[in-house]
């Protein structure tokens, strides 16, 4: 029997459609099963299932997404719910992803298959900058699905549900698409918001936060991702700084092969994309970025050439960050030579940039 409900997407084995009131029995199979709903700490009553249907019908109208029913293409049987959900985390609206499968369809790979297609839908159809999954700490199966999707852990937050406070682990994945936009005058304001959030930290440890990367150069086309480097007054305080940054939603991810430039996750307390680093003042990588940024700020024709090249490369390699970065190398080397770097220094910077590119490919950013 052909499933009803508006068609959303199709995978190798599944078809996702909007749920309808007529799907009440299929939904009860999942939502009224206490083993399926153990992470919610209670099985739904029939009345709560009706409310669930109404809530998702409203999501379809207002958000254009919600939990969609997943049907097995071969049999037409409903195997679960997989979808995209607009939700609020730390007071900020994020696009989330979730899955709930009927127990008899566990361990078949349906959650990962359907969720992977939903991520593709989020990035291609909705141009989402990132997608979040919030998963109960004890839900090892869902955590494995998130990891299989390439989502990275990003701390814990407390979710209020049914009169209880329930800790949830956060997993995040940014868009894999290479997008270059014309300069947006809101980028400095976004950077200022990041600085404002971290004002107490800077007061405690001293130093400054620099707006680096292309979004820090007026009128330069750039990927719409704010790059910010925190340079503390005394880098020996690094262990305490690392711990303090966690309360703002930044979690350490290592140095990515570039000593002296420590990487952090994005903070979900900010809705815009951003890369955040804590840098040793003596880091050559930091100095190179600052000098290149300052050169482009004072040489608008060079900035124009760089922006035009980036837009061209983004159009040629919309999902290939490796080729996109490689295509910029020759022009960047020309700029570095004009700044005053010698051939050996430029070769070293190019090698460091290859490490940075490999890290971005590995981490999906």
Note the pLDDT of residue 220: 97
Both 161 and 281 in a single domain? no
Both 167 and 220 in a single domain? no
pLDDT in tens, 52-96: 999 999 999 999 999 999 999 999 999 999 999 999 999 999 999
**Residue 180 placed within a domain:** no
Q: Residue 357: pLDDT above 90?
A: no
Both 40 and 144 in a single domain? yes
Both 24 and 103 in a single domain? yes
Out of 116, 151, 174, pick the residue that ends a domain.
Answer: 174
Six token digits for residue 149:
């999707």
**Residue 215 placed within a domain:** yes
Cα distance between residue 176 and residue 365, in whole Å: 6
Q: What size, in residues, is the chain?
A: 365
What average pLDDT does this structure show over 115-129? 96
Out of 174, 195, 218, pick the residue that ends a domain.
Answer: 174
Q: What is the mean pLDDT of the chain?
A: 92
Question: Which residues fall within 8 angstroms of residue 280, CB to CB, at 6 or more apart?
Answer: 231, 235, 260, 261, 286
CB 103 within 8 A of CB 36: yes
Cα distance between residue 112 and residue 70, in whole Å: 12
The string of DSSP letters for 311-357 reads HHHHHH-TT-HHHHHHHHHHHHHHHHHHHT--HHHHHHHHHHHHHHH
**Residue 163 placed within a domain:** yes
Query: In terms of DSSP bridges, do strands 208-212 and 226-231 run parallel, antiparallel, or are they unpaired?
Result: antiparallel
pLDDT in tens, 269-289: 999 999 999 999 998 889 888
Q: Which residue has the tokens 């991520």?
A: 119
CB 259 within 8 A of CB 234: no
Cα distance between residue 283 and residue 269, in whole Å: 28
Both 123 and 228 in a single domain? no
Both 261 and 127 in a single domain? no
**Residue 74 placed within a domain:** yes
User: What is the domain range of residue 40?
Assistant: 7-174
Note the pLDDT of residue 121: 98
Both 168 and 317 in a single domain? no
Both 107 and 223 in a single domain? no
- pLDDT over 90, % of the chain: 81
- CATH (domain of 83): 3.40.630.30
The string of DSSP letters for 34-48 reads TTTTGGGTSPPPHHH
**Residue 1 placed within a domain:** no
Both 113 and 147 in a single domain? yes
What average pLDDT does this structure show over 216-231? 97
**Residue 167 placed within a domain:** yes
Six token digits for residue 21:
């009131």
**Residue 181 placed within a domain:** no
Classify burial at 150, counting beta carbons within 10 Å of its beta carbon; exposed 0-12, middle 13-18, buried 19 or more: middle
Both 235 and 288 in a single domain? yes
Note the pLDDT of residue 361: 40
- pLDDT over 70, % of the chain: 95
Out of 150, 174, 198, pick the residue that ends a domain.
Answer: 174
Both 229 and 322 in a single domain? yes
Cα distance between residue 219 and residue 184, in whole Å: 8
Number of domains in the chain: 2
Q: Which residue has the tokens 């979900």?
A: 268
What sign results for the dihedral spanned by CA atoms 349, 322, 363, 269? positive
Note the pLDDT of residue 342: 81
pLDDT in tens, 339-352: 988 887 777 777 66
Note the pLDDT of residue 356: 57
HSE value, Cβ hemisphere, 13 Å, CA-based, for 232: 24
Both 252 and 313 in a single domain? yes
CB 276 within 8 A of CB 268: no
Q: Which residue has the tokens 């080397």?
A: 333
- CATH (domain of 287): 3.30.460.10
Name the strands in the sheet holding 261-264, side by side, starting at the edge strand that comes first in the sequence.
208-212, 226-231, 274-279, 261-264
Cα distance between residue 351 and residue 345, in whole Å: 10
**Residue 317 placed within a domain:** yes
Cα distance between residue 215 and residue 210, in whole Å: 12
Q: Residue 221: pLDDT above 60?
A: yes
First to last CA, the chain: 42
Six token digits for residue 208:
């400054």
Note the pLDDT of residue 363: 53
């Amino acid at each position: 029997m052909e499933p009803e409900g508006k068609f959303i997407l199709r995978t190798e084995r599944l078809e996702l459609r909007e749920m309808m009131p007529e799907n009440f029995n299929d939904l009860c199979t999942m939502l009224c099963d206490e083993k399926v709903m153990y992470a919610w700490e209670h099985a739904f009553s029939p009345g709560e299932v009706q409310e669930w249907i109404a809530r998702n019908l409203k999501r379809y109208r207002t958000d254009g997404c919600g939990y969609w029913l997943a049907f097995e293409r071969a049999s037409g049987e409903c195997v679960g719910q997989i979808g995209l959900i607009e939700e609020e985390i730390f007071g900020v609206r994020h696009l989330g992803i979730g899955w709930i499968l009927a127990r008899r369809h566990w361990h078949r790979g349906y959650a990962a298959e359907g969720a992977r297609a939903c991520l593709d839908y989020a990035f291609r159809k909705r141009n989402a900058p990132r997608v979040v999954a919030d998963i109960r700490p004890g839900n090892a199966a869902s955590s494995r699905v998130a990891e299989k999707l390439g989502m990275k852990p990003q701390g814990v937050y407390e979710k209020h549900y049914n009169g209880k406070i329930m800790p949830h682990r956060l997993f995040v994945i940014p868009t894999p698409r290479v997008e270059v936009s014309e300069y947006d005058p809101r980028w400095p304001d976004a950077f200022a918001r990041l600085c404002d959030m971290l004002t107490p930290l800077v007061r405690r440890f001293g130093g400054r936060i620099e707006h680096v990367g292309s979004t820090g150069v007026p009128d330069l086309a750039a990927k719409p991702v704010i790059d910010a480097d925190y340079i503390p007054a005394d880098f020996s305080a690094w262990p305490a700084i690392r711990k303090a940054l966690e309360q703002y939603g930044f979690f350490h991810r290592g140095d990515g092969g570039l000593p002296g430039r420590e990487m952090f996750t994005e903070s979900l307390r900010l809705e815009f994309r951003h890369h955040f680093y804590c840098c040793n003042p003596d880091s050559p990588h930091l100095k190179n970025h600052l000098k290149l940024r300052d050169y482009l700020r004072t040489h608008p024709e060079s900035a124009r050439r760089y922006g035009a090249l980036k837009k061209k490369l983004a159009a040629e390699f919309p999902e290939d960050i490796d080729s996109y970065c490689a295509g910029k190398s020759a022009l960047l080397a020309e700029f570095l030579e004009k700044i005053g770097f010698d051939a050996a220094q430029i070769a070293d910077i190019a090698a460091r940039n290859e490490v940075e590119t490999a890290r971005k490919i590995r981490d999906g950013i």
